[in-house]
Amino acid sequence: MSSASPGAKPFNILFLCTGNSARSILAEALMNAENPARFRGYSAGSFPKGEVHPLALDLLRREGLPLDGLRSKSWEEFSAPGAPQMDFIVTVCDNAANEPCPIWPGHPMTAHWGLPDPAAVEGEETMRRLAFAETLRALRNRIRIFASLPLQSLDAMSLRNRLAEIGRQ
């Protein structure tokens, strides 16, 4: 795992989804656990549900991932003055990818890593928990690939292509 050079600011990554209750929350927690010296993950939604899905919180707790600060919030928080400036914005649902986004300060690099919504799975609890676990696994794989990229040495076009490639995996 690569780490940030001493004194370097971490890269800020915002994960977007419509409801900000499951996929983007899982991605935020995973990113913050991956390499906190190098990355800082955030999440938001275009139409936040106002609460984190209980199965997402339960899965993160069972995986030993941090729950501090996780909450369902609007993406408007991150386009407001004084918000942390994002280096990357990743949509994790198809709806958010097709919605008109705010103008992000600093013009961060964007990518789409669409995944099915585990919160939309109905039926027995076992199947619902399995959907959340599969989403976490897919996000973990993508985030680990992303975190291993030599971000400082890739030109913008190469980095954009690599981010798109991660989303297709």
Within-domain flag for 2: no
Within-domain flag for 107: yes
Check residue 1 and give its pLDDT: 39
Within-domain flag for 34: yes
In the chain, how many domains are there? 1
CB-side neighbour CA atoms (13 Å) of 127: 5
Separation CA 1–CA 148 (nearest Å): 7
Within-domain flag for 1: no
- Residue 136 lies in domain: 11-162
Within-domain flag for 5: no
Query: What Å distances lie between residue 41 and 20, 35, 126, 159, CA to CA?
Result: 13, 10, 29, 18
Within-domain flag for 124: yes
pLDDT per residue of the chain (169 residues) written in tens, 0 to 9 = 344 455 678 999 999 999 999 999 999 999 999 989 999 999 999 999 999 999 999 999 999 998 999 999 999 999 888 899 999 999 998 765 566 666 677 789 999 999 999 999 999 999 999 999 999 999 999 999 999 999 889 999 999 999 999 999 8
pTM of this prediction? 0.91
CATH code of the domain containing 127: 3.40.50.2300
Within-domain flag for 139: yes
Phi, psi of 29 (to 5 degrees): -65, -45
Within-domain flag for 102: yes
Active site residues: 17, 93, 101
